[in-house]
């Protein structure tokens, strides 16, 4: 080895010994995380306002509880303005909130049009808008929710399969005609039926998310078509009525009932276990609440201008059938989410 090489080796060995000696001290000292203070400061003291179509049912109660659980530990105030199924009251609530200037509004639209211009105005005035499950014609900073066309397709495919070798007569129980959830689900139904011209739709009526209306419609359909083999429903909270009519006609297990919902145990798994529903596609409310809260955290901490970004988080569906309805993981409990 040359003299230069020997000197270089000595220097490298020395540097290694120094680094090794310093390593325990560095490990003990720790490092500051450079971004968490700014994140906490961005959220602290902010208000998030939730405007559902109504409270007091599993979807909206679950979303509200989930938002509070995720955001309140960071000093965020989560408030709710309940229109109680009144579109006019909802529009007034949104209008009032715009003047109150919360950081974020989480909106559950009753239809595609009523709130659209108000939501655009809100973002123009510096309020982030997140739309949940039922969107409007205005695309805001974020949408979290189910892909209703996929739900319509998957429910209808299941009904068509259940009808093989039977009458091929089915019924469709829609929600509210002007709601995005209903209109897009119907498109999914139509996509599948276009591939199955042998399937006959004997009734396709709107029950307006009302279980009593769904029951009355289904009772009439079953009287006129006792050989009906399947029903595509648009929401399990409404299709409690659909299932009740099927049961009263003595046709549970003979008429395949497919629907969708938020996956709360009593409204989904228990009804599937009992045989009232055959398929309930869950969009899993707790996960949706976490995704909305994640959107809130990102938007508020990012500093991006409201309305300048447009993103969506479509829900991964959980099919609830007799195979998994008794499991601990297919559904959730509202009481647990509120703890």
- Over residues 41-100, the pLDDT tens digits come to 999 999 999 999 999 999 999 999 999 999 999 999 999 999 999 999 999 999 999 999
Asked if residue 323 is part of any domain, the answer here is no
Q: How many domains does the chain have?
A: 2
How many CB atoms lie under 10 A from the CB of residue 337?
Answer: 20
Rounded Cα–Cα distance for residues 119 and 139 (Å): 9
Q: Are residues 248 and 153 in the same domain?
A: yes
Residue 46 lies in a domain: yes
Domain membership of residue 180 as a residue range: 148-282
The answer to whether residue 314 sits within a structural domain is no
Q: Is 117 a residue whose pLDDT tops 60?
A: yes
Q: How many Å apart are CA 67 and CA 62, to the nearest integer?
A: 9
pLDDT at 29: 79
- Residue 27, both tokens: 């490990």
Same domain, 255 and 154: yes
Would 334 be classed as within a structural domain? no
At 3-22, the pLDDT tens digits run 444 544 444 444 454 444 44
pLDDT at 33: 82
Convert the pLDDT of each residue in 179-198 to its tens digit: 999 999 999 999 999 999 99
Tell me: do 179 and 76 sit in the same domain. no
Give yes or no for residue 1 having a pLDDT over 80.
no
130 plus 171 within the same structural domain: no
pLDDT class of 28 with cuts at 50, 70, 90: low
pLDDT above 80 (res 204): yes
C-alpha span between 335 and 41 (Å, rounded): 31
Residues 158 and 45 in one domain: no
* 181 lies in the same domain as 137: no
Smallest CA-to-CA distance from 55 within 80, 87, 92 is with: 80
Outline where DSSP puts E strands in the chain: 47-51, 77-80, 104-107, 128-132, 142-145, 169-174, 200-206, 230-233, 256-261, 279-282, 311-314, 318-320
CA distances from 183 to 53, 70, 109, 190 (A): 17, 32, 13, 11
What CATH number has the domain bearing residue 110?
Answer: 3.40.50.2300
Residue 329: pLDDT band with limits 50, 70, 90: very high
Say if residue 158 is in the same domain as residue 278.
Answer: yes
């Amino acid at each position: 080895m040359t003299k230069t090489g020997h000197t270089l080796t000595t220097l490298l060995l020395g540097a290694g010994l120094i680094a090794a000696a310093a390593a325990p001290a560095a490990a003990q000292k720790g490092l500051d995380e450079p971004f968490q203070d700014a994140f906490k400061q961005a959220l602290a003291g902010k208000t998030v306002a939730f405007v559902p179509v109504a409270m007091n049912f599993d979807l909206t109660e679950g979303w509200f509880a989930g938002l509070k659980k995720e955001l309140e530990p960071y000093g965020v105030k989560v408030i709710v303005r309940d229109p109680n199924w009144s579109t006019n009251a909802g529009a007034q609530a949104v209008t009032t909130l715009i003047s109150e200037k919360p950081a974020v509004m989480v909106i559950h639209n009753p239809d595609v049009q009523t709130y659209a211009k108000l939501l655009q105005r809100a973002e123009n005035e510096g309020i982030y808008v997140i739309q949940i499950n039922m969107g409007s014609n205005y695309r805001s900073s974020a949408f979290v929710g189910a892909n209703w066309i996929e739900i319509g397709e998957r429910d209808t495919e299941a009904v068509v399969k259940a009808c093989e070798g039977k009458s091929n007569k089915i019924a469709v129980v829609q929600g509210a005609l002007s709601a995005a959830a209903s209109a897009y689900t119907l498109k999914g139904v139509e996509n599948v039926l276009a591939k199955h011209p042998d399937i006959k739709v004997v009734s396709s009526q709107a029950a307006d998310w009302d279980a009593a209306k769904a029951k009355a419609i289904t009772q009439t359909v079953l009287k006129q078509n006792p050989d009906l083999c399947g029903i595509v429903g648009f929401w399990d909270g409404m299709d409690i009525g659909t299932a009740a009519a099927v049961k009263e006609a003595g046709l549970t297990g003979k008429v395949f009932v497919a629907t969708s919902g938020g996956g709360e145990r009593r409204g989904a798994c228990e009804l599937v276990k009992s045989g009232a529903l055959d398929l309930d596609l869950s969009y899993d409310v707790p996960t949706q609440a976490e995704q909305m809260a994640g959107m809130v955290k990102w938007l508020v901490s990012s500093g991006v201008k409201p309305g300048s970004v447009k993103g969506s988080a479509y829900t991964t569906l959980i099919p609830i059938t007799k195979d998994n309805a008794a499991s601990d993981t297919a559904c959730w409990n509202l009481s647990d989410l509120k703890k």
